[in-house]
Amino acid sequence: MTHIGHSEKVFVMKRLLLILILTLSFQTLVKADDIKDFQIEGISLGDSLLDFYSEKKINNNLEDWFLPKYSVAVFEEQRGIYDEIQLIYKTKDKKYTIVGISALKFTDPKYCLEKIDSVTSEIKSIFSKKITIRKKKTSKHPGDKSGKSKVTDIVFKLKKNKDLIIVACYDWSKKTEYWDNLRISIRTKEYDKHISR
């Protein structure tokens, strides 16, 4: 009988976990004709944040990353297959309409990078000619002045309304307070334009 060591078990589990993440993510995309049909753990662009969290909980979890125009509510909790979810809305919007969603799964970037090309193929086959694709790109994260934190991403833009789907691997420097992660994001074109200045 072959015995598997602890490190090998961790390796196998990480690979299986990442495959599971990507498989479940694409199940939400299969029926998607519009960005609002794309759900991350049951949440879509255009939904009200109040349908998922109380106003008190939202206010207790706000980050000031994109103020004053946009507010970001960050929930570091297990929600389905993800470890953290970030929900963005216009700060003055009393309906808390979601304009951006980022779902994070903490994982080693090495395993994330192994899967990012297959992710591209899946999304291309689902949306066919409805999207344009910005090829895989690795860049330094502007939030880390040391230049040691990197983001590798592929951006899919819907031709119809220019909203986006982004699949990314975040490889943070050990000196930052953040965890390496696989991140799937959906954004309205207006929100993306604001944060991409």
End-to-end CA distance of the chain: 58
> CB-based contacts of 66: which residues, under 8 Å, 6+ apart?
72, 88, 194, 195
pLDDT at 125: 75
pLDDT at 130: 83
pLDDT at 6: 42
pLDDT at 11: 40
Angle at 174 between CA 168 and CA 180, to 5 degrees: 25
pLDDT at 32: 56
pTM of the model: 0.81
Tell me how far apart the alpha carbons of residues 79 and 57 are, in angstroms, rounded to a whole number.
15
- Domain extents in the chain: 6-195
pLDDT at 75: 97
Residue 132 to residues 19, 53, 86, 138, 149: CA-CA distances in angstroms? Answer: 25, 34, 25, 18, 27
Amino acid in position 195: I
pLDDT at 136: 92
**What is the mean pLDDT, run by run of 10 residues, along the chain of 197 residues?**
42 44 48 72 94 97 96 93 95 97 92 83 76 92 92 93 93 92 94 90
